[in-house]
Amino acid sequence: MLNELMKYCGQPELYTQGTAFMWTDAHIAKQLLAVHLNGDVDLASRRSSTIDSTVTWILDKAPRRRLDILDMGCGPGLYAERLAKAGHRVTGVDVSENSTAYARTLAAKERIDVSFRTQDYLALSDESAFDLVILIYTDLGVLLPEARETVLENVYRALRPGGIFIFDVLNVLHREQKVTPKNWEVCPTGFWRDHPYVALSESYLYPKQNVILYQHTVGDSDSVDVYRFWTHLFSDDAIFKIVKKAGFSSCECHTDVLPENDAWSGENVTFCVAVK
């Protein structure tokens, strides 16, 4: 195992793929759901009070009528259910069956009229179906450029004329503070596995491209898996360029939406409102 771990030490070439996909792993999915539902921390999802204020901010930017809303990467439905309770027709889409199953169960229990689909939003095919599409918690920034273009095309097609796309990204402010130090953990069981494992977490900055790689190398007695998250940092000009290329008529950027908690909050995060 140590020999395998050593293969992945050091900074890889830009956009080198990992060897494993976190979102559909059965054990990790359960851990992610538990973190999503912890309303006191900004992990997997933001804390409950921040979600509340963000939903209020989103609706302040939207037209004053009952809306058809698509929540992309909805997880267990934390935003979707709040938007539905505010009187809107909401569809949530997420690749994790574990998260969408939880969201459906809770919505039925609380009699909330919201629909959840287990789907990769890269395969989204809706056309002129929504007034508002949201993609929250910097999801757009972890997509590689080609996938990001696909998602923007999908969103543009899914929106009705004049529809709004609201998303957030990490921006270029305090870039070096967003690079996390190397960390080892050895666990009998934990986030990555339900049996003993060792994990190395590290990150690398690619300054020319404004990209940070967050890498987790996880080994046990049987195998070593590498999870890589390529995270893009954006200037306002870069955001304007990518949304214009996708066909949006206008875009405004805001850095005053989130409270100041850490390097992934406050002014470090830009919320964008793009209009079709």
Range of the domain at 102: 37-171+234-275
Q: 11 or 9: which carries more pLDDT confidence?
A: 11
How many CB atoms neighbour CB 14 within 10 A?
13
Judge whether 160 lies within some domain. yes
Q: Is residue 184 located within the same domain as residue 260?
A: no
Model pLDDT, residue 23 = 83
Q: Determine the Cα–Cα distance for residues 102 and 75; give it in Å rounded to an integer.
A: 9
Percentage of the chain beyond pLDDT 70 is: 100
Q: Determine the Cα–Cα distance for residues 49 and 65; give it in Å rounded to an integer.
A: 24
Model pLDDT, residue 70 = 98
Q: Is residue 197 located within the same domain as residue 139?
A: no
Model pLDDT, residue 8 = 85
Judge whether 123 lies within some domain. yes
Whole-structure pTM value: 0.94
Q: Angle at CA 232, nearest 5°, toward 245 and 38?
A: 115
Confidence of residue 46 (pLDDT cuts 50, 70, 90): very high
- CATH code (residue 124): 3.40.50.150
Predicted confidence (pLDDT) at residue 19 exceeds the cutoff of 90? yes
Reference 136, options 59, 255, 61, 55; nearest CA is 55
Q: Is residue 137 located within the same domain as residue 251?
A: yes
Model pLDDT, residue 1 = 75
Query: How large is the average pLDDT for residues 90-94?
Result: 97
Confidence of residue 106 (pLDDT cuts 50, 70, 90): very high
Judge whether 27 lies within some domain. no
Predicted confidence (pLDDT) at residue 50 exceeds the cutoff of 80? yes
CB distance 129 to 158 below 8 Å: yes
Q: Is residue 93 located within the same domain as residue 186?
A: no
Judge whether 271 lies within some domain. yes
